[in-house]
Amino acid sequence: MMSRQGIFFTKPNDEWLKSQVDNQKYSNKSELLNDLIRQARNQQIQIDYAEGKIEKAEKSGFTKDSKEQILT
C-alpha cells in the first residue's frame, strides 16, 4: 500500500530530480525518491551495525578508545 505525500523541493533539487527522470534513469520522481529512501535506510542499517560493533568492543575491554576516537 502506498501513501500519498505533498513535498516541496528547492529549485536545484527539483531540477536534479527532473533530470534523472528525463535521462530515463527512473520512470518518475516517486520511483526515484523511493529508491533514494531505500538507499538511505540500507546505509543506516550499516551504520547501526558498525556502531553496535564498536560499542560492544568498548564494553568488552577490547579497546579503551571511545567511539569518537575510533571513528576519527
d(CA 26, CA 6): 19
For the chain, the helix, strand and coil percentages under 3-state DSSP, each to the nearest 5: 70, 0, 30
In this prediction, residue 71 carries a pLDDT of 74
Which residues have C-beta within 8 Å of that of residue 51, sequence separation ≥ 6? Answer: 67
Helices (H) and strands (E) in the chain, counts: 3, 0
User: Alpha carbon of 4 to those of 1, 21, 51: distances in Å?
Assistant: 10, 19, 34
pTM for the predicted model, two decimal places: 0.70
Whether the pLDDT of residue 38 is over 80: the answer is: yes
Grade residue 39 by pLDDT with cuts at 50, 70 and 90. Answer: very high
Domain borders along the chain are: 12-71
What pLDDT, in 10s, does the model give residues 43-59?
Answer: 999 999 988 988 887 78
In this prediction, residue 44 carries a pLDDT of 97
